[in-house]
């Protein structure tokens, strides 16, 4: 169990997964810092339609009610009495997001470093996201990850999106990996809950949500980004257990 500070204990690290087979990644907020762009897009769209009397939504409202959730769930939350209208609003928001994302999307710090670590070890990898297909494909392309991910699982193609475990279980199935030898990178409460429910340890990133909020979902531990020493301490321990140590800390 992670301590309240987010510090790692090697008793709850990733070493028990050895030999590691695979790593599953969320996209939004996990491989790229997209939450501020989503927040800006929702804020713009909801102001256009006069939601909340025209008063802009706050970042806290976005974190508590929208971040990491599937658009169907967001539509029901924002418009509980008019689901179809809610869907049209979320679709309009995605158009705004795709307009903004080209100039503003940046990888999370250290992403290339952890990518190299995964590739050097020949590990399987998949993206598992609640993002719409157009968004997912656009972000993966902008980040140069099209050849990195061996499968992309969309929440909209599952019977139940995150926070249910189905998307992550489909990810494991797609790349033929065992949950007992796989871990997850996630940044949202719903995503962490989904990974944990699928039976895997989840490394949580604090790119868009406060530590205390993420810890309620029970990640293995939290990191600021992929350069975080806590992550590399865990990967080094995992390498030792797997008998593949020696280059973990390299850039």
Cβ atoms 42, 66 nearer than 8 A: yes
Query: What's the burial of 103, exposed, middle or buried (CB within 10 Å: 0-12/13-18/19+)?
Result: exposed
- pLDDT at residue number 63: 86
Q: How far apart are CA 63 and CA 70, in angstroms?
A: 13
Cβ atoms 101, 140 nearer than 8 A: no
Tell me the pLDDT tens digit for each residue of 106-151: 999 999 999 999 999 999 999 999 999 999 999 999 999 999 999 9
What is the mean pLDDT of the segment spanning 210-229? 96
**Topology of domain 10-33+106-242, per CATH?**
Rossmann fold (3.40.50)
pLDDT for residue 13 is more than 80:
no
What is the mean pLDDT of the segment spanning 211-215? 94
Query: Which segment of 59-68, 74-83, 213-222, 237-246 scores lowest on mean pLDDT?
Result: 237-246
- pLDDT at residue number 242: 86
Residue 249 — pLDDT band, cuts 50, 70, 90?
A: very low
Buried b (16+ CB within 10 A) or exposed e, 63-101: beebbbbbbbbbbbebbeeeeeebbebbebbbebbbebb
What is the mean pLDDT of the segment spanning 184-201? 97
Report the first-to-last Cα separation within the chain, whole angstroms. 29
- pLDDT at residue number 7: 44
What is the mean pLDDT of the segment spanning 198-213? 94
Task: Using alpha carbons, select from 21, 35, 25 the residue that is nearest to residue 69.
Answer: 35
* Catalytic residue set: 26, 28
pTM for the complete prediction?
0.85
Q: How far apart are CA 226 and CA 205, in angstroms?
A: 9
More confidently predicted of 248 and 76? 76
Q: How far apart are CA 172 and CA 128, in angstroms?
A: 10
């Amino acid at each position: 169990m992670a301590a309240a500070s987010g510090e790692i204990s090697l008793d709850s690290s990733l070493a028990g997964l050895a030999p590691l087979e695979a790593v599953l990644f969320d996209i939004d907020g996990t491989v790229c810092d997209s939450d501020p762009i989503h927040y800006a897009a929702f804020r713009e769209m909801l102001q256009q339609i006069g939601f909340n009397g025209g008063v802009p939504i706050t970042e806290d409202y976005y974190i508590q009610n929208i971040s990491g959730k599937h658009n169907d769930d967001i539509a029901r939350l924002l418009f509980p009495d008019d689901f179809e209208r809610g869907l049209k609003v979320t679709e309009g928001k995605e158009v705004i997001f795709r307009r903004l994302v080209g100039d503003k999307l940046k990888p999370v710090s250290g992403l290339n470093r952890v990518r190299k670590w995964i590739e050097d070890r020949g590990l399987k990898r998949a993206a598992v996201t609640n993002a719409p297909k157009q968004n997912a494909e656009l972000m993966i392309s902008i980040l140069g990850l099209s050849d990195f991910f061996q499968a992309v699982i969309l929440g909209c193609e599952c019977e139940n999106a995150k926070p249910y475990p189905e998307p992550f279980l489909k990810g494991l199935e797609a790349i033929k990996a065992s949950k007992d030898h796989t871990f997850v990178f996630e940044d949202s409460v719903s995503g962490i809950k989904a990974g944990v429910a699928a039976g895997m340890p989840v490394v949580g990133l604090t790119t868009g949500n406060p530590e205390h909020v993420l810890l309620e979902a029970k990640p293995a531990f939290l990191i600021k980004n992929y350069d975080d020493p806590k992550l590399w301490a865990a990967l080094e321990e995992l390498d030792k257990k797997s008998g593949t140590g020696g280059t973990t800390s390299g850039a």
